[in-house]
Amino acid sequence: MRKSKLTEEVQKLIVDTNILVSSLLGKSYPYKIIYDLVFTDRVKLFISPSILEEYQGVLSRRKFQKKTSFYEDAKNLVDSILEVGILINPKTSIDILPDKSDNKFLDLSIAVQADCLITGNTKHFPFRQFESTLILSPKEYWDTFWK
């Protein structure tokens, strides 16, 4: 497993829901992060019950069903995440982000002391780091740690 440039341990990641959507729609950085890193155990993916619920809800939206096989691919993706991801129920509940629904990602980052939170919506997170967690776009993450 690839060791973090931040620590001597395997990187602990949290991925925003938009990364999963993007990984199903193309083969760019989100795809590489999910399929080349998470599903090969090169990093540890952490999820919480509320994040899992968001994954399932967003991925089942009708607007994505226009793409052939999206629903089945999304279901398989979530099933695979449940197999390899580490499910944690955070004890803290913070309220600091403009989009309140994104606070759950920071709650989990506190609970697991994540190395990185990867999101396609960096503008929703008004800071580049929260406690020990770097907040990076997929390209920034890939270029920083895997290029």
From the list 136, 57, 49, 132, the residue with the least C-alpha distance to 88 is: 49
Give CA–CA dist 18/32, Å, rounded.
14
Give me the pLDDT at residue 1, please: 41
Low-confidence ranges of the chain (pLDDT < 70): 1-8
Question: Quick one: pLDDT at residue 44?
Answer: 97
What is the predicted pLDDT for the residue at 8?
A: 60
Domains in the chain, start-ordered, CATH in brackets?
12-145 (3.40.50.1010)
